[in-house]
Chains A and B, each alone.
Chain A
Amino acid sequence: MAVVILPSLLAAESGGQKRFETEAATLGEALRTLPVAVLLFDEHGELRPLVNVYVDGIDARESGGLDAPLADAREVRLVQSVAGG
């Protein structure tokens, strides 16, 4: 089981809940079942480019992407890119 940790802006959209336990098989499944999934993905199902996801500290885009299995993962952390003002 992994724990998904949301940044504060998204936690506020989840009734204040910041941590979500997940038994999802893949990272994509874990993210798509979050109550804030609509904010993370565009209408074509792609993860928005300034949403960064780290699985046990490793950038998910460099380690299998959304299809990566979560079997041994402990922590999935969503981080807003530093871009923007």
Chain B
Amino acid sequence: MPNTILVGTKKGLFLVHGDESRTKWEAAEPLLEGWEVMHAILHDGVLYAATGGMVYSPTVQRSQDFGKSWELAETIGLPEETGEKVQKLWHIEPGHEGELWLGGAPAVLFKSTDGGVTWEANQGLLEHPTRGKWQPGAGGLTCHSIQLDPTDRDRIYIGISAVGTWRSDDGGKSWQPKNKNVWAGFNPENEYPEWGQCVHKLLLHRGKEGRLWQQNHCGVYRTDDGMETWERLDENGLPSDFGFPLMLDPHDPDAAYVIPQIGAENRVTCDGRLGVYRTRDAGASWELASNGLPEQAYVSLYREASAFDSGSPAGLYFGTHQGVVYASPDAGDTWVEAASELPPVFSVEVAEWPS
């Protein structure tokens, strides 16, 4: 049973350890104190953290002793001829057969085949003929979502703000935009472009082939055909089309969870409350699933700051800019506060921590 929440914050990585019930949690002293931790995962017994900040180089740090000591990756960078430099690293994703993937800004994707020591930039993205026209979202021109098809190692799905969702069918050598029916309401000249949508988070459901969900700047969407077409879902009962967090239930491909925010100009939760909304019918309807969450709250949340576990029922987790982490042990039926008074939460993951 996953029992530890990895909370990446503006000032360090916090481990929040839980009991078997997933209702009692306790935050430990921070690791990587003082570092901006954009994302952290525990994979094959190694802790990886994407760190950065304004001053020092963005990098990946790894620990093979559960945070007691850390090693820096070799320089993570872009070839000089591109004229571009890595600005920020956002997301680490375990790949097939020991590979690791890493996304960041400016619209960069890296792969490591040596356990995170060295990282090679994905040329397919760097050389894409449309790259020169890509525009950033408020958080930068950021590759933040990386989803690997569990049955086809050549198929990779990524999300880039504000370039949209893209798919590779050749292991990342080439990329095709896959944004059909996804609205780009901020672009009145072309509201349904081939690319240029502002995806905020993209997740694949590993239990139903071809199914992915995305929380977008302009709506919540689901695809059942590997992103060939998208269906818009937020108009089926969500208070807003805008948000960042997205959670799934590994046991139910028809379930998804979002936390809508008012909109791009006012990025706080809707209706003055902290509202998690749940669908169990593939987005045909949504219900408020916020039992235990504050009923008066004006909260902002970031795109990496939500997670779900493999327990039964699924555990759900999210953190806020205000430094609070919430957990649900029962697929959203009830919530508890797992930690508070932390620095602003950038990312949330969950892991089985050795006792």
Contact = CB atoms under 8 A, between A and B. Distances in A.
A48 B76 CA distance: 14
Main SS class of interface, A: loop
Contact of B77 (A13, A39, A44, A50): A44
Contacts of B166: none
Interface in B38-95: 53-57, 59, 69-70, 72-78, 80, 85-86
B33 interface: yes
Contacts, number: 54
Contacts of B33: 12
Contacts of A35: 72
B116 to A, nearest CB: 13
A38 B57 contact: yes
Interface string A68-82: 000000000000110
A14 B313 CA distance: 43
Contacts of A12: 33-34
B35 interface: yes
A84 B56 contact: no
A41 B54 contact: no
Interface SS, B side: loop
Interface residues of B, number: 21
A32 to B, nearest CB: 11
Given A13-B72, A39-B59, 16 more contacts: A9-B35, A12-B34, A13-B70, A15-B69, A36-B72, A38-B59, A38-B74, A39-B56, A39-B72, A40-B56, A42-B57, A42-B85, A44-B77, A48-B56, A50-B55, A51-B56
21 contacts: A9-B56, A12-B33, A12-B34, A15-B69, A35-B72, A36-B72, A38-B72, A39-B59, A39-B72, A43-B75, A43-B76, A43-B77, A43-B80, A44-B77, A44-B85, A48-B56, A48-B57, A50-B54, A81-B55, A83-B54, A83-B55
